[in-house]
Homo-oligomer: A and B are copies of this chain.
Amino acid sequence: MKKTREEICEITYIDKKKVSAVKKKMKPEMTMQRLSETFKALGDATRTKIIFALSQEELCVCDMAHLLGTTKSAVSHQLRVLRNMKLVKYRKDGKIVFYSLDDEHIKNLFDEGIRHVKEM
């Protein structure tokens, strides 16, 4: 009888102790989920550029569209993703909405990323 389907429970442990030690240290599922969502939010060229631009200056949607050479709609859609992940905040001034980074962390996170990229 040939077994083809790989089942989780049949995988061999190489170092069971090590695995349970690491398992204990793992963050809660919720934390991991949010963390990956945060990175995912930064993981798109348009959004990366938005974040970088906002690390330099507070900007309105219209000017971001200009800066990135795309449409206001596309920018607005991406800003919602960043808003949802609490990466940017905004203030309204009449018709115009000005966006900026939500807090200092974001810039640190970003700078750390740039440092990694430079050493690739």
Contacts and interface: CB of A to CB of B under 8 A. Distances in A.
Nearest to A15: B63
Interface of A: 6, 8, 11-15, 18-19, 21-23, 25-27, 31-45, 47-49, 52-53, 56-57, 59-60, 62-63, 65-67, 69-73, 85-86, 96, 103, 105-106, 108-110, 112-120
Contacts of A13: 62-63, 66
A38 B117 contact: yes
Oligomer: number of copies: 2
B43 A43 contact: yes
Contacts of A35: 48, 110, 113-114, 117
Given A33-B45, A44-B36, A27 B114 contact: yes
Nearest to A26: B52
